[in-house]
Amino acid sequence: MTKKPNIVLIMADQLAPQFTGAYGHPLVKTPHMDAVAARGMRFDAAYCNAPLCAPSRFSFMSGQLVTRIAAYDNASEFPATVPTFAHYLRMMGYRTCLSGKMHFVGPDQLHGFEERLTTDIYPSDHAWTPDWELPDERIDHFYHNMDSVQTAGVAGTTFQIEYDEETAFFARRKIFEYKMNKVDPFCMVVSFIHPHDPYVARPEWWDLYDHAAIDMPANLDSTDPHSERLKVAIEADIAEITDEQVRNARHAYYANTSYFDSNVGKVVQALEESDQLDDTIVIVTSDHGDMLGERGLWYKMTFFEHGARVPLVMAGPGIAQGSNDAPCSLVDMLPTFIDMAAQGGEKPTLGMPLDGRSLFAEAQGAPAPDNAEAIGEYCAEAAPAHPILMIRRGRWKYIHCEVDPPQLFDVVADPAELINLAADPAHAEMAATFAVEVAERWDSAAISKNVIATQKQRRAVHAAMEQGAWTSWDYQPPRDASREFVRNTVSWDDVVYRMQYPPPPET
């Protein structure tokens, strides 16, 4: 058995691979992602399992699809009894650490991580619960609207910039601490909020781009039922948006993608400067994408390519150089981590069957299995009180909802998804086969019933928690500043040797 590698996963929020240099965008500058991809493997058909923050992250952490663990929306509890890759890696001898966002909802704010370096950026309670019994009712204090597009631009600081600065700082510090304290192996997740809207960037990132050169969305307006629901949900149907506001939003998004990329560089630099890069598998991904005005849509909540695809690049010991165009998804990361950690040795007993497959062999250059697939489930706001389901297999993507016409796309020949083949007589047999598979795989009526039941439970709990003394589930990072830096309880030399790498020479 070879040495267990360290694993460092760097996660963006709302980063569509189509808007990165690493995936071929002609304008967007992502040199650090490019470098990881150049020395490792780039997965070109990676998807989220739900195009919304919390459900996607719960699937990523647990290797379970949304409907298996009731991770329906951004206010669904992530049960403490669901094992995550952090639990399994701890069982395999890893130190596990989270810096940044993971949008855990519920009283368990660790989910297997031994250490958590920052608080989360979003609330951990049930306040953001949608209501499928009133699917057309907006909950204005958390539903998206078009403000992020109308107010896009430049600022010296934002709450998101402050958060990502802290996330990067504490991650970098911990990487050096691991080296100096001889912690080996470790798994660290460094999870940033950018380039998630608001589309506001600092001047140095905005100025990387010529404003006049920012490409505009393709002139296509989606009119399928779910797209029309999304426009209403984000108020795109009533907002007056100018071309200049669209260009500003895309400009800021590109700028914030470069800012995220700079933080990828900081993490990799810390690994390199602490002499750990050669022993570490580095992975860069996102929780979902951003439509960014394509098809008349913004943000996520759709299985169109810009909303559902994610970047996935990895490099490090044992990882081959190349690209892989087989469908995969974030639910595959848990079994991948286990294989990376096992290195041919013993694996932990699983607490639940997994919905994903390991990508480690493919990352080492092996071909993907013929039945490689990505499965998506959307059960949150703007859905019509029925789940929206996706199967991506081979070149085909099939999208199903009980009350909507089916959609079938050849995403290889038609990457912009302009032609719905579901009603094409030449593809009738394929569409029918997918329809049968959906009916066998999912019970949409039962899912809808359970979604509504959990929503009622969560609204009742939240209503009660708002009365009387408030007990917050939001994570409070432990910190004792009286024991940091130079204090009278330790010698100066001890602090110097403990906090400097490489350490000063012996005198």
Domain total for the chain?
1
Give the integer Cα–Cα distance in Å for 70 and 450.
8
pLDDT at 424: 96
Give the integer Cα–Cα distance in Å for 58 and 66.
8
**What are 10's two structure tokens?**
């760097």
Which residues are within 8 A (CB) of 172 and not within 5 positions of it... i.e. 6 or more apart? 266, 267, 270
**What are 446's two structure tokens?**
């039962």
pLDDT at 142: 63
pLDDT at 136: 73
Q: Concatenated DSSP letters for 331-345?
A: GGHHHHHHHHHHTTS
**What are 311's two structure tokens?**
């970047």
CA 379 to chain centre: 17
**Is 130 within 8 Å of 381 (Cβ atoms)?**
yes
pLDDT at 445: 97
Residue 304, domain extent? 6-369
Residue 424 domain flag? no
Q: How far apart are the first and last CA of the chain?
A: 40
Residue 340 domain flag? yes
Radius of gyration of the CA atoms of the chain, in A: 23
Residue 103 is a catalytic residue? yes
Residue 252 domain flag? yes
**What are 432's two structure tokens?**
């029918």
> Per-residue pLDDT for the chain (507 aa), expressed as one digit of tens each?
578 999 999 999 999 999 999 999 999 999 999 999 999 999 999 999 999 999 999 999 999 999 999 999 999 999 999 999 999 999 999 999 999 999 999 999 999 999 999 999 999 999 999 999 987 777 666 677 999 999 999 999 999 999 999 999 999 999 999 999 999 999 999 999 999 999 999 999 999 999 999 999 997 889 999 999 999 999 999 999 999 999 999 999 999 999 999 999 999 999 999 999 999 999 999 999 999 999 999 999 999 999 999 999 999 999 999 999 999 999 999 999 999 999 989 999 999 999 999 999 999 999 999 999 999 999 999 999 999 999 999 999 999 999 999 999 999 999 999 999 999 999 999 999 999 999 999 999 999 999 999 999 999 999 999 999 999 999 999 999 998 899 888 888 888 888 899 988 876
Which member of 32, 48, 53, 226 is catalytic?
Answer: 53
Residue 376 domain flag? no
**What are 91's two structure tokens?**
């069982």
**What are 310's two structure tokens?**
């994610």
Which domain CATH number covers 255?
A: 3.40.720.10
pLDDT at 1: 54
Segment (H or E) for 93: none
Which DSSP letter does residue 111 get?
A: T
Calculated CA dihedral for residues 235, 241, 245, 250, nearest 10 degrees: 50
Residue 12 domain flag? yes
138-144: long-range pairs with CB below 8 Å, 24+: 138/233, 139/381, 142/74, 143/233, 143/234, 143/381, 144/197, 144/233, 144/234, 144/298, 144/299
Give the integer Cα–Cα distance in Å for 143 and 21.
30
Which member of 32, 103, 126, 144 is catalytic?
Answer: 103
Give the integer Cα–Cα distance in Å for 189 and 333.
12
pLDDT at 507: 62
Residue 400 domain flag? no
Give the integer Cα–Cα distance in Å for 307 and 234.
15
Phi, psi at residue 110, to the nearest 5°?
Answer: -120, -45
182's torsion region: left (phi>0), alpha (psi -120 to 50) or beta? left
**What are 376's two structure tokens?**
């998506």
Residue 157 domain flag? yes
Beta-ladder partners of 315: 282
Q: Concatenated DSSP letters for 301-363?
A: SS-SHHHHB--EEEESTTPPSEEE-S-EEGGGHHHHHHHHHHTTS--PPPSS--SS---HHHH
**What are 169's two structure tokens?**
């700082």
Residue 55 domain flag? yes
